[in-house]
Amino acid sequence: MSTPLQPLSDYVVAQAEEASVKTASGIYLPDNAAEKPKTAKVLATGKEVKQVKAGDRIVYKSYSTTEVKIGSEDYILVKEEDILATVGK
């Protein structure tokens, strides 16, 4: 998927993924019950980003993003240093 945003330097453009509201045992949680995991799919990376690439799934710090809406699509911008891990495929 292409994005209308081209990140600069060490920023990553991603789309946040919906967190599951159902526990492993089948219990549905209300939205405010617990903090949801912050995962996203990387769409584009700046020239200085070295550890992730487009298509990777990442886990990022909760309050480290800038949210952008272009048309009907929501995107987030994250600095590479605020990415905590990649998620296996």
Q: Which domains does the chain have, with CATH numbers?
A: 11-87 (2.30.33.40)
pLDDT per residue rounded down to tens, the chain (89 residues): 578 899 999 999 999 887 656 666 777 666 555 566 689 999 999 999 999 999 999 999 988 899 999 999 999 999 999 999 999 86
* pLDDT value for 62: 83
Could you tell me if 39 and 75 are in contact, meaning their C-beta atoms sit under 8 angstroms apart? no
* pLDDT value for 56: 96
CA 78 – CA 85 distance, rounded (Å): 13
* pLDDT value for 52: 97
- DSSP designation for 80: G
Comparing CA positions, the residue from 7, 2, 11, 17 lying closest to residue 57 is 17
